[in-house]
Chain A
Amino acid sequence: MSDCTKIAPLLGARDHELTAAEAAALAAHLASCDRCRAIAADLAATEGMVREGLMARANARDFSTFADEVMAKVGRAERPGLFGWIGRHRAATALGTLIPVLAAVALLMYVRIEGGREPALFELSSEGEATTVLQTADGPVVLLAEDNGS
Chain B
Amino acid sequence: MEADDLSLVSKAQAGDAAAFRALVVRYQRKVYAVALGIVKDPDLAWDVAQDAFVKVHAHLGEFEGKSAFSTWLLRIATHLAIDSVRRERRSRKDDLDDVPEETLAEGGEGILATALGNDPRQNLLRRELAGKITDALADLPEKHRTILVLREVEGLSYEELAERLGIHKGTVMSRLFHARKKMQAALARYAGLRPASEADSKGEEGEG
Contact indicator B130/A74 (Cβ below 8 Å) = no
Given A5-B101, A9-B174, A52-B130, check contact A67 B110 (CB 8 Å): no
Q: Is A54 an interface residue (CB 8 A)?
A: yes
Given A55-B33, A58-B36, check contact A73 B131 (CB 8 Å): no
A39-B104 Cα distance, complex, nearest whole Å: 9
Contact indicator B37/A67 (Cβ below 8 Å) = no
Contact of B32 among A42, A58, A73 (CB under 8 A): A58
Q: Is A49 an interface residue (CB 8 A)?
A: yes
Contact indicator A45/B116 (Cβ below 8 Å) = yes
A10-B54 Cα distance, complex, nearest whole Å: 38
Interface size on A, residues (CB 8 A): 44
Given A5-B104, A12-B177, A71-B24, check contact A42 B131 (CB 8 Å): no
Given A9-B173, A14-B157, check contact A69 B50 (CB 8 Å): yes
Given A54-B153, A58-B32, check contact A49 B126 (CB 8 Å): yes
Q: Is B148 an interface residue (CB 8 A)?
A: yes
Given A13-B158, A17-B158, A74-B20, check contact A58 B33 (CB 8 Å): yes
**Which of B2-10, B77-85, B88-96, B132-140 lies at the interface?**
B132-140
Distance in Å from the Cβ of A69 to the closest Cβ of chain B?
Answer: 6
What residue of chain A has the Cβ atom nearest to residue B169's Cβ? A17
A: which residues have CB within 8 A of B?
Answer: 1-2, 4-5, 8-14, 17, 35, 37-39, 41-46, 48-59, 61, 63, 66-67, 69-71, 73-74, 77
